[in-house]
Amino acid sequence: VVSERGKLRVAVIGQGFMGRAHSFGWARAAALEGSRLSPVLAVLCGRDRQALAVHAARYGFAGWSDDWAEVVRRDDVDLVDICTPGASHAEIALAALAAGKHVLCEKPLANTIDEAGQLAAAAERAASNGVFATVGFNYRRVPAVAMARGLIERGRVGTIRHVRAVYLQDWLVDPSFPLTWRLDRGEAGSGALGDLLAHVVDLVRFLSGEEIDEVVSLLETFVSERPLAASGVGLSATAGEAQATGRVTVDDACAVLARLHGGALATLEATRVAPGRKNALVIELNGSKGSLRFDLERLNELELYEVGAPMDGFSRVLVTNPSDPYLDQWWPPGHILGWEHSFVHEFEDLMAAIAERRQPEPSFFDGFVTQAVLDAVSRSAASRSWTTVDRGSKLAG
Amino acid sequence: VVSERGKLRVAVIGQGFMGRAHSFGWARAAALEGSRLSPVLAVLCGRDRQALAVHAARYGFAGWSDDWAEVVRRDDVDLVDICTPGASHAEIALAALAAGKHVLCEKPLANTIDEAGQLAAAAERAASNGVFATVGFNYRRVPAVAMARGLIERGRVGTIRHVRAVYLQDWLVDPSFPLTWRLDRGEAGSGALGDLLAHVVDLVRFLSGEEIDEVVSLLETFVSERPLAASGVGLSATAGEAQATGRVTVDDACAVLARLHGGALATLEATRVAPGRKNALVIELNGSKGSLRFDLERLNELELYEVGAPMDGFSRVLVTNPSDPYLDQWWPPGHILGWEHSFVHEFEDLMAAIAERRQPEPSFFDGFVTQAVLDAVSRSAASRSWTTVDRGSKLAG
Amino acid sequence: VVSERGKLRVAVIGQGFMGRAHSFGWARAAALEGSRLSPVLAVLCGRDRQALAVHAARYGFAGWSDDWAEVVRRDDVDLVDICTPGASHAEIALAALAAGKHVLCEKPLANTIDEAGQLAAAAERAASNGVFATVGFNYRRVPAVAMARGLIERGRVGTIRHVRAVYLQDWLVDPSFPLTWRLDRGEAGSGALGDLLAHVVDLVRFLSGEEIDEVVSLLETFVSERPLAASGVGLSATAGEAQATGRVTVDDACAVLARLHGGALATLEATRVAPGRKNALVIELNGSKGSLRFDLERLNELELYEVGAPMDGFSRVLVTNPSDPYLDQWWPPGHILGWEHSFVHEFEDLMAAIAERRQPEPSFFDGFVTQAVLDAVSRSAASRSWTTVDRGSKLAG
Amino acid sequence: VVSERGKLRVAVIGQGFMGRAHSFGWARAAALEGSRLSPVLAVLCGRDRQALAVHAARYGFAGWSDDWAEVVRRDDVDLVDICTPGASHAEIALAALAAGKHVLCEKPLANTIDEAGQLAAAAERAASNGVFATVGFNYRRVPAVAMARGLIERGRVGTIRHVRAVYLQDWLVDPSFPLTWRLDRGEAGSGALGDLLAHVVDLVRFLSGEEIDEVVSLLETFVSERPLAASGVGLSATAGEAQATGRVTVDDACAVLARLHGGALATLEATRVAPGRKNALVIELNGSKGSLRFDLERLNELELYEVGAPMDGFSRVLVTNPSDPYLDQWWPPGHILGWEHSFVHEFEDLMAAIAERRQPEPSFFDGFVTQAVLDAVSRSAASRSWTTVDRGSKLAG
């Protein structure tokens, strides 16, 4: 399913925050040296036709469409990149896989554990036909995170004993921020849980190489009534002038106590009401031989402590050397990368996997497992009890 | 019970880590301007007679004794300062209060909730006779912490929604660190729980001004067998040459999910196996109007974020101005204080309360409540369930 | 000289480090909303024909050429973007201006003050015909730097009294790093001086809004002999196997004491032999009302202190809000930008100026003045004396 | 000249900022284990008799006097500790040495180079009689600084190539801060130069192990007229109500470009008008094999980078381990020290030298050399030229 001459023709579904980020990422990835495939921006797909024409031209797409069902079947598309809200992921992804297209689906994989299970099963079937699916946990591709994973893999921090991971934002602190689709359970499935804790969970799994076995949790909505949105969507919405308000149906925040399979104690947290924390995905792992710390607000840096090292302190490493993960394509040391570059690396890895006909990571099954953890978090909050993560029963397609 | 001429004659019980820290603190407090009492180092009390003579001379005590029961009854002692391991707190404190002496008792107040309840009740009775008791949560007296409390009290961060508090150390990472009294449940009562989480709990209560209502927790001992101690005690012990080992009977670490009375979500954690974290008591609070962050390893600093401030960022405040809490006694701005100076402030506040015949803070009841939280943490770990903090039933003397 | 339909057809001369950075920047700038011109990658120009074909395709250029003299005269080019080593800047820029093309010239403007003076004079003449020239001090366009300039302009830090500015790198610490064109006076003109101190000087001028009036300096080459380069060019060169070495003819480092026109004391420094400092362009300004600090290794952050602010500390501002300079085109708060994005902003500002037929900043005269400061630094190091910056006599075309 | 039984009887001259700091330091030093001498607070000496009685009692002195000339001759004094303003240093120190007393003299050693030369010569003569003199550069005794010196001595950073050292304070930013003796050339000799740059110069010499050979400098007084002081002295003075003002006769700030003997480039700076910088003595050294950074506002930390270390980053070391310099006397790791503890270490080293009848460091000759650098800085500012540090001609007694 890769077209002749090493091109990978991409259809991006969605033209919001993520649609833009992916579009720029694919364009930038086209300039990478050494990649076996070269991405082509084939189609931009969305609902607002007027915006589509403008965006498609601006981002360099060959064409655009407002009919995703048609797009996923087109002959001139090799990969469908799904950047829509979670509620539509399953339908689009299943159709794309059925049409024999590779699929990249933004996280969370789905809004429900049932849908996620269906998707994982469908992806497994597709893979046996050489059609691959992956879920967009882009933070795995931040060089400092990749370096951290490498250090853990090589045993540099020993057995993991503690994980402390939070994703803190503050855009809902303002009570006049309006109701948008992200605050509507029907569209978004959940709040900080699916939007932010999903990243936390994936990062814990990726870095530790371990599963989260059981959780106990709290979910909270601190501001339960908000003005209806007058205009705009997503993160740039503004409140209407009238006093109409509506009910927030998702969580503002969640906090979780968890046990990893290897026995480590973990605290996980996600919130959109932490004043001053703009995008603070911070994770610290303490092992029997060392510690690691990463903060997305300073994503070019990694802190490492090793027991018995010459100096008894944390090293702050600026992960920008050409020998560091993904960095051979970029700039001399110290010329830092931005957030959006994580997508370039994600696409680079995805193209390599497709070219080599192997399963890209993270798979839909990884997306399903993250969803299973989120599901356990939800159930635990409701039942007020320790809850085992169910990685199996929902999986049958 | 204060001697003529504004002196406060102090007996320090214990000559270990805490005994030394308190002795230096009292000596330094004697030089404070403006305090209504002047402390006098009357007696140093301990078990090792040879060390006692040396220490008493060196720290400037008028005398020494190896019989605490005699000391707490002496006429020339106004205040008994208990710096022994937790197992002996109750007996000494009750005897001292019975003898009409003010009591300062190191934390944790006791090793069991029953003893803590007894102590709180005894302290309440003594207070009605003008004899006061306090528990040594010295971190309340770090200037940056006192400043943080003031800011919260004045509403600068609004309603607290999130608390994230950890106390991380790493001295038990080395599996050859020997068994000392701190790793023996009989002596120490618990491990990181009573030693470190006690500080976390008190700090959360002090800063937030709220009670911790319920908890769910994990306790873990990662290194369960250790060499027997050959020599030395406490934190400076060294392992014996022989291969004899013994069982660690306390926790290395604990992790807690909690709900504050006002609804805030809290994660609390304490561990002695976090490589590279030497004394990292770090707390962050997020409120509806701002955020605060404090780290004991940089105890002269406080970070504050305020919604709507001119600059959208955290201020790093070096809390060393003469107008800052406790700082009028010290140096020009930027000349930082050390860890041990928290005791000077603790004693300063205690002397002021005694001079003014009012209850010093934190009271034994505060010590009891902290113990009640630790007790709930222990029970929750055992029952694997959400556990309500019982602030009442154990209190009856 | 702007083609119909609001396109700006760009020829990039040079395919090295800077040629690549500019190429990506132009491509990314094409997606900007609200810009009145839309850049078109018309021609990539360089010496290595084989590489050119590959690069042109990969970066999205319509064509390529190895003849710059032809390129600057082509009808289908509106702007010539010069990314070659300094020695060739003057010849290419003069030809391009003579051909009526807008010119963007990488810094330093030229290798000699005479050439820089010629260029400034030529640019002034061209401007009167609506043909504009600008020099590529991209760090003016880092959002945090632009925010800093705004704060200073609005008087938030008062009168500048101290400037402390350094640009520290470490790629020449290794004595086996080979001789490349950057270490050859004939090609590069100078070492850390023209490469790094040029940025320092421009940043000081831009932020303070003041001229550097006089300087006294030291220049030093710590490693004077290096192996000849076997392969590669620029920063990625590797040493040959043979033992052949050559003489380094540029400075490794320079240090400068200076006086600003308004009376401020300044220390300026640039070096390529500061171990651990990868790209540390750090500037602190102290004024009568406040202080500012910026570090390129954390280019999304700005530190500000204001006398009399509610909290007596530096605010660390993450400059990623949509309301911050240049940020309306990017991501939600906390999603940081990378080094290369400074070029996108540079091109955005340049296109706006061209569209509005006004002089873009910094002008060739700005480039000349920076060169005049570097020239004074060189002369001062040779004469071992305070040296006045000559901003006039070399200017006549 | 050490009394029987290993006591060192100390007379402290001066009861201001430094007199207090030293008094507390001596008291704290008395509790040190393992020191061969035990300090005794014999006499506190000053001008204000009423304050003297109070201070002597509070700080624990056996007696007090307002006649320094008598004190330095008393039989029951072994060491004279001079904490008065610089103008009186020479007279007191010479008298004390003549009387056969060891002398500790606060920095700067003297207000003029001639006096400093006299003192160094007198100290050398006294040393041959077993009477020792030292100058109070206490920052050599900060554990992190001592660790840094050790690392440099053992070659861990290689040959020093760059030194960047500043001492920044902000207490003169407020133009209404009154004229005190510290702003009067007659009393203080100079401003930031003698007060702050003296520390910078000593630290550069101590850490690098090299002399500063030549300097070029700027001195500036930004606020030249200030209200007369109504009450108080030193740093806590307050302005009078009347509008009377007087002329500031010392520098607010100085900036220096210097060359070290080994060829390193150095920038040195001291100022009292850097808003937000409270006590920022910050030094960074770059060598051929590594870099070191220290900041007095975080005096328990040291940052080290080593070329070729396993991780390519700066280690932040919390210098609080018992195995670190001076730390065996203090607390478990992570329990940080304060500014005033540097004096305890200073006195500990001084007592060890006296007990072992060897010259303590830094000697009066070191004090003289620092003064010679300050003198060269002053002359360079006046002559506007590179000025050689004269370490010889003024030395003859």
pLDDT in tens, B5-56: 589 999 999 999 999 999 999 999 998 887 889 999 999 999 999 999 999 9
Give first-to-last CA distance, chain C, whole Å.
24
> Of D90, D108, D139, nearest to D375 (Cα)?
D108
Q: Please report residues of B whose CB lies closer than 8 A to that of C300.
A: none
The model's pTM is: 0.96
Mark yes or no for CB contact C331/A340 under 8 Å.
Answer: yes
What is the rounded distance in angstroms from the CA atom of residue D17 to the CA atom of residue D234? 8
> Which amino acid appears at position C55 of this protein?
H
Q: Please report residues of D whose CB lies closer than 8 A to that of C384.
A: 386
The pairing of beta strand C387-388 with beta strand B265-271: unpaired
Mark yes or no for CB contact B21/D278 under 8 Å.
Answer: no
What is the pLDDT at residue A313?
98
Phi-psi map region of A232: left, alpha, beta (phi>0 left; psi -120 to 50 alpha): left
CB pairs under 8 A between C and D: 126
Partner-chain residue, chosen from C222, C275, C291, that has the shortest CB–CB distance to D275: C291
- D116: enclosing H helix or E strand: helix D113-127
Cβ-contact A95, A118 below 8 angstroms: no
What is the rounded distance in angstroms from the CA atom of residue A314 to the CA atom of residue D150? 20
Paired tokens of D98: 């003549």
Above 80 in pLDDT, residue B146?
Answer: yes
Instruction: For D170, name the nearest residue in chain B, comparing CA atoms only.
Output: B333
Q: Which residues of chain D have pLDDT under 70?
A: 1-5, 231-242, 396-397
Above 70 in pLDDT, residue B343?
Answer: yes
- The distance of C213 to chain D (nearest Cα, Å) reads 14
- Any chains having at least 3 CB pairs less than 8 A from chain A are B, C, D
Considering only CB atoms, which residues of chain C are within 8 Å of chain D? 157, 161-162, 164, 166, 168, 173-174, 216-218, 220, 222, 253-257, 259, 263, 265-267, 269, 271, 273-277, 286-291, 305-307, 312-314, 384-386
What is the rounded distance in angstroms from the CA atom of residue D12 to the CA atom of residue D60? 12
Of residues A6 and B83, more confidence is placed in B83
Other C-beta atoms within 10 Å of A232: how many? 12
Partner-chain residue, chosen from B32, B278, B299, that has the shortest CB–CB distance to D333: B278
What is the rounded distance in angstroms from the CA atom of residue A123 to the CA atom of residue A60? 30
What is the pLDDT at residue D393?
79
Instruction: For B252, name the nearest residue in chain A, comparing CA atoms only.
Output: A161
Range name among A66-75, A141-150, B131-140, C221-230 with the lowest pLDDT average:
C221-230
What is the rounded distance in angstroms from the CA atom of residue C349 to the CA atom of residue C355? 10
Count helices and strands in chain D by DSSP H and E runs: 11, 19
> Of D325, D349, D338, nearest to D8 (Cα)?
D349
Cβ-contact D367, D378 below 8 angstroms: no
Q: In this predicted model, what pLDDT tens digit does every residue of A13-63 receive, in sequence order? A: 999 999 999 999 999 999 888 788 999 999 999 999 999 999 999 999 999
Mark yes or no for CB contact B310/C312 under 8 Å.
Answer: no
Edge-first strand order for the sheet with C79-82 is C63-65, C38-45, C7-13, C79-82, C102-106, C133-136
Interface test with C, best of A139, A339, A341 (most C CBs within 10 A): A339
Q: Please report residues of D whose CB lies closer than 8 A to that of B21.
A: 331
What is the rounded distance in angstroms from the CA atom of residue D337 to the CA atom of residue D348? 16
- The distance of C94 to chain D (nearest Cα, Å) reads 38
Q: Please report residues of C whose CB lies closer than 8 A to that of A30.
A: 58, 60
Mark yes or no for CB contact C313/B310 under 8 Å.
Answer: no
- C378: enclosing H helix or E strand: helix C364-383
What is the pLDDT at residue C232?
55
What is the rounded distance in angstroms from the CA atom of residue D206 to the CA atom of residue A150? 41
- The distance of A312 to chain D (nearest Cα, Å) reads 6
Mark yes or no for CB contact A275/B267 under 8 Å.
Answer: no
Q: Which residues of C330-344 are buried (b: 16+ CB within 10 A; e: fewer)?
A: bbbbbbbbbbbbbbb
Paired tokens of C334: 């906390």
Q: Please report residues of D whose CB lies closer than 8 A to that of C283.
A: none
Q: Please report residues of A whose CB lies closer than 8 A to that of B168.
A: 286
What is the torsional sign of CA D97, D99, D104, D108?
A: negative
The Cα-based distances of B114 to B84, B90, B371, B389, B395 in angstroms read: 19, 10, 9, 14, 8
Mark yes or no for CB contact B276/A291 under 8 Å.
Answer: yes
Partner-chain residue, chosen from B306, B316, B321, that has the shortest CB–CB distance to C314: B316
> Of D11, D19, D10, D80, nearest to D48 (Cα)?
D19
Above 80 in pLDDT, residue B243?
Answer: no
What is the pLDDT at residue A393?
80
Q: What is the mean pLDDT of residues B162-174?
A: 98
- Mapping DSSP to helix (H, G, I), strand (E, B) and coil, where does residue D55 land? helix
Paired tokens of C69: 């003299």
Burial tier of D224 (Cβ tally within 10 Å: 0-12, 13-18, 19+): exposed
- The distance of D280 to chain A (nearest Cα, Å) reads 22
Of residues D3 and A312, more confidence is placed in A312
Partner-chain residue, chosen from A217, A265, A307, that has the shortest CB–CB distance to B275: A307
Cβ-contact C58, C15 below 8 angstroms: no
- D40: enclosing H helix or E strand: strand D38-45
Neighbouring-strand partners of residue C39: C8
- Any chains having at least 3 CB pairs less than 8 A from chain D are A, B, C
Paired tokens of C105: 């010239």
What is the rounded distance in angstroms from the CA atom of residue B134 to the CA atom of residue C135? 69
Other C-beta atoms within 10 Å of B75: how many? 8
Mark yes or no for CB contact B255/A263 under 8 Å.
Answer: no
Q: In this predicted model, what pLDDT tens digit does every residue of B84-101 receive, in sequence order? A: 998 999 999 999 999 999
CA B120-B125-B128 angle, 5° bins: 125
Mark yes or no for CB contact D309/A310 under 8 Å.
Answer: yes
Considering only CB atoms, which residues of chain C are within 8 Å of chain A? 17, 21, 23-24, 27-28, 30-33, 58-60, 169-171, 235-236, 277-280, 296-300, 318, 320, 322, 331-341
- Any chains having at least 3 CB pairs less than 8 A from chain C are A, B, D
Mark yes or no for CB contact A317/D309 under 8 Å.
Answer: no
Cβ-contact A245, A223 below 8 angstroms: no
The Cα-based distances of C137 to B193, C347, C363, D203 in angstroms read: 56, 11, 10, 37
Mark yes or no for CB contact A33/C58 under 8 Å.
Answer: yes
- The distance of D280 to chain C (nearest Cα, Å) reads 13
Instruction: For A148, name the nearest residue in chain D, comparing CA atoms only.
Output: D311
Above 70 in pLDDT, residue B236?
Answer: no
Mark yes or no for CB contact A30/C58 under 8 Å.
Answer: yes
- Mapping DSSP to helix (H, G, I), strand (E, B) and coil, where does residue A32 land? coil
Q: Please report residues of D whose CB lies closer than 8 A to that of C305.
A: 275-276
- The distance of B47 to chain D (nearest Cα, Å) reads 19
- The distance of B98 to chain D (nearest Cα, Å) reads 32
Give first-to-last CA distance, chain B, whole Å.
23
What is the rounded distance in angstroms from the CA atom of residue C71 to the CA atom of residue C45? 8
> Of D127, A201, D334, nearest to B274 (Cα)?
D334
Cβ-contact B306, A170 below 8 angstroms: no
Non-local (6+) Cβ contacts of D256 within 8 A are C257, D197, D215, D216, D217, D218, D266, D267, D268, D269, D377, D380
What is the rounded distance in angstroms from the CA atom of residue B78 to the CA atom of residue A5? 91
Helix, strand, coil fractions of chain A, as percent rounded to 5? 35, 25, 40
**Four-point Cα dihedral A233, A238, A239, A242, nearest 10:** -100
What is the ipTM metric for this complex? 0.94
Cβ-contact D10, D62 below 8 angstroms: no
Instruction: For B280, name the nearest residue in chain D, comparing CA atoms only.
Output: D334
- The distance of A202 to chain D (nearest Cα, Å) reads 26
The crossing angle, in degrees rounded to 10, of helices C198-208 and C143-153 is 40
Neighbouring-strand partners of residue A304: A292, A315
What is the rounded distance in angstroms from the CA atom of residue A271 to the CA atom of residue A171? 10
Q: Residue with structure tokens 């300004």?
A: C285
Residue C269 CB-half CA count within 13 A: 29
The pairing of beta strand C102-106 with beta strand C133-136: parallel
Q: Please report residues of A whose CB lies closer than 8 A to that of D304.
A: 311, 313
Non-local (6+) Cβ contacts of A49 within 8 A are A66
Paired tokens of A181: 């689709």
What is the rounded distance in angstroms from the CA atom of residue B240 to the CA atom of residue B231? 7
What is the rounded distance in angstroms from the CA atom of residue D259 to the CA atom of residue D266? 6
Q: Please report residues of C whose CB lies closer than 8 A to that of D274.
A: 162, 286, 291
Q: Which residues of chain C have pLDDT under 50?
A: 4, 397
> Of A52, A113, A190, A111, nearest to A92 (Cα)?
A111
- The distance of C393 to chain D (nearest Cα, Å) reads 24
- Any chains having at least 3 CB pairs less than 8 A from chain B are A, C, D
Q: Please report residues of C whose CB lies closer than 8 A to that of A23.
A: 31
Partner-chain residue, chosen from D32, D296, D336, that has the shortest CB–CB distance to B339: D336
> Of D364, D272, D312, D327, nearest to D145 (Cα)?
D327
Partner-chain residue, chosen from B170, B236, B338, that has the shortest CB–CB distance to D338: B338
What is the rounded distance in angstroms from the CA atom of residue A343 to the CA atom of residue A26? 8
Q: Please report residues of B whose CB lies closer than 8 A to that of D336.
A: 279, 297-299, 338-339
Mark yes or no for CB contact D334/B279 under 8 Å.
Answer: yes
- SS3 string, C179-190, reads ECHHHCHHHHCC
Neighbouring-strand partners of residue C260: C212
